[in-house]
Structure 1
Amino acid sequence: MSEQTAGATGEPTGIPSGTYAYVGIVALYAATIVLGLALTDEVAGMGLAMFQDPGDVGNVGVFAVMLLVATGVMVAAFRYGYGEALVRVFLLGSASTLTAVAFVALTGIGEIAASGSVLMGLPTSPASIAVAAVTFAVLWVYPEWYVNDVAAMIFGAAAIPMLGLGFGPFPVVVLLIAWAGYDAYAVYVSGHMQELAAGLGDLKAPIVFVVPHSLDFSMRDPDFDLMGGDEADENADDGTSTEDQSAESPARAEIALLGLGDALIPGMLAVSAGAFLDAPVVVPALNANAPAIGALGGGLVGMAGLLYLVHRVEGAHAGLPPLNAGVLGGYLVGAVAAGIPVTTALGL
């Protein structure tokens, strides 16, 4: 979910409304993908690729079904008021598990079950289990915006290589195009994801990056309402959408948000490019070749376009179309710069 709001409090005179918050959002987006690239070799060595045959385009369908089922279950839980506590336990448990994956990848301490095991991705040693348990406890007891942001960045960085290593160039390109279309449908046609966004906001789970315009803001305020109450139902947002509205609830007018999915899905292409395209590594610390760096840079261009759209056109806007377009464009530019034909880069 990506959404930015126009309201601001406590900013110096002459600084455009929301500037600092937007800079923070962009920084979190970039840092998540960069850290994901940096962890790719370690995650690959741990055997944690989501799919064992990255060239199988059928992986796209499997992944899409998984996301749609999860979305449907959560929307039903929020709409009918059943199972919300279980949804929160599941989300915080997933975040904690992936944080343990990042910890093991960064430090080499502890163990995570590899692909092929029924426990794939779960911590299986005292150290990794302790990291997951402590993370879960902190997120449950103290869901402040900066705690959630750090957690989302860390576990998002672990998820990006797990996903990207499971998709070769052609499948991941198909996924980016298909999911951008789904995002546009969910925002401009069905609107069902606004319920999901509002429900996730109530759960205060680290699924969205939240950056306030003022440091006085707190997500732990009992009156916190991420999506602005009933007005949220009038505008669609699917986890990758953006909106510019200042005359809403106090919480809504004081924050900028970006859905974690807006970093995960574009980041997959950068990881896939570095893993599967035969091109010289240009940034050794990230094991990134020119197409991977191009994907990262293109995503930032897409983010700039998204922010421009937010401020120029009132209402809800799908975020993945501009983000994924930028990522794909940057990826292809990087591929050509590395001497890779466009058809090869696209997996054709």
Structure 2
Amino acid sequence: MAESSTIQSHSYSLYTPGGRRTLFVSLISIAIFTPTLLTEYLEPVVTFFPIVALVAIAMVRTGWPAAIPTWTIFNIFSVYLMIYAGYSFGTKLPATLLILFLLGMLVYDLIGVKGGQMQSMAAKMISYGIPIFILVPHSKTFSFEKFREIVSEEGLEGLHGSDHGISMLGIGDGFLPGALAVSAGAYGAAAQFGALSITLPQFTTALGGIIGLGLLMWAELPKAIAALIVSVPGALIGFGVGLLVETLVF
């Protein structure tokens, strides 16, 4: 699910449309390519996940440390969670099952966003201080505590037109393409780059998901849509292209 509530942009680069897009694409790229490139090294991410999750929730709920904006802590853990989920799903499920799962989640996301269930769930998670979204504020005066207060009292709709508006992307929109990219490592010969390795289908799957979400971020729509409608087709097209090229060329 992606959500954007528009307010007047500030001159500071992060709070301009271009700055928001750059940050979103950067975070999504990290979340998708990290499990794809570092699959064999990520078991500690699974091992320490419960501890990291508890610490992250405590930091978000208390606003500690005060020197770091809480929304930054929120995003760091959300990216960590995307990496964890992408690695876990991608190493446990074959690509064929993941494709069916992605298509099922796409339908679920479409129904949930249209019916408002996804927005309601997002508001509850935010009010509880549970970081399962990437969010970028639209204003330099953004306050995470005020943001949580508005969402708790009025829902996401209360953010529109306020100084605490955000653009937001759910973790599923990023980790599902990442999971397929990890699973695509079973296809094709891996290219080695030092300690890193990646197959062509992995690269094109990851790139397809990122491009799909990048186009959505570029559009910056004023209301929530099912972001899987772009990330899933992007990843699937990338997977198909990678397999085709691998078969025909290599």
Question: For this structure pair, what is the TM-score category when the shorter chain's length is used for normalisation?
Answer: 0.7 to 0.9
> How many correspondences in the alignment?
244
Q: Determine the structure 2 residue equivalent to 1:213.
A: 138
Deviation at 1:224, TM superposition (A): 4.2
Q: What is the CA RMSD across the aligned residues, in angstroms?
A: 3.2
More helix by share: 2
Mark the structure with the bigger radius of gyration: 1
Q: Determine the structure 1 residue equivalent to 2:172.
A: 261
- The correspondence for 2:163, drawn from 250, 253, 260, is 250
* AA aligned opposite 1:307: M
Q: Determine the structure 2 residue equivalent to 1:7.
A: 7
* AA aligned opposite 1:41: E
1:325 maps to 2:236 = no
Please list every run of 5 or more consecutive structure 2 residues that lacks an aligned counterpart in the other structure: 65-69
Deviation at 1:269, TM superposition (A): 0.5
Deviation at 1:195, TM superposition (A): 1.1
Is the alpha carbon distance of 1:138 and 1:340 closer, same or farther for their aligned partners in structure 2, counting shifts above 3 Å?
farther
1:37-76 mapped onto 2 (5 Å cutoff): 37-43=36-42, 46=43
- The correspondence for 1:270, drawn from 181, 184, 187, is 181
Q: Determine the structure 2 residue equivalent to 1:166.
A: 92
Tell me, in whole angstroms, the C-alpha distance in 2 between the residues paired with 1:122 and 1:16: 31
- The correspondence for 1:153, drawn from 65, 72, 79, is 79
Deviations 1:148-198 (A, max 9, x none): 11122123212211111111011011111111111111122x222221111
The percentage of counterpart residues that share the same residue type is 26
Give the secondary-structure state (helix, strand or coil) at the position aligned to 1:316: coil
Deviation at 1:328, TM superposition (A): 0.6
Give the secondary-structure state (helix, strand or coil) at the position aligned to 2:92: coil
Deviation at 1:24, TM superposition (A): 0.9
Question: Using CA pairs below 8 Å that are at least 6 residues apart, which structure has the higher relative contact order?
Answer: 2
Contact 1:226 1:251 in 2 (8 A): no
* AA aligned opposite 1:194: Q
Is the alpha carbon distance of 1:185 and 1:294 closer, same or farther for their aligned partners in structure 2, counting shifts above 3 Å?
same
Give the secondary-structure state (helix, strand or coil) at the position aligned to 1:250: coil
Deviation at 1:211, TM superposition (A): 1.3
Contact 1:228 1:248 in 2 (8 A): no
Deviations 1:101-134 (A, max 9, x none): 42xx8xxxxxx3xxxxxxxx777xxxxx6x6665
Q: TM-score, normalised by structure 1?
A: 0.61
Tell me, in whole angstroms, the C-alpha distance in 2 between the residues paired with 1:223 and 1:134: 19
1:339 maps to 2:247 = yes
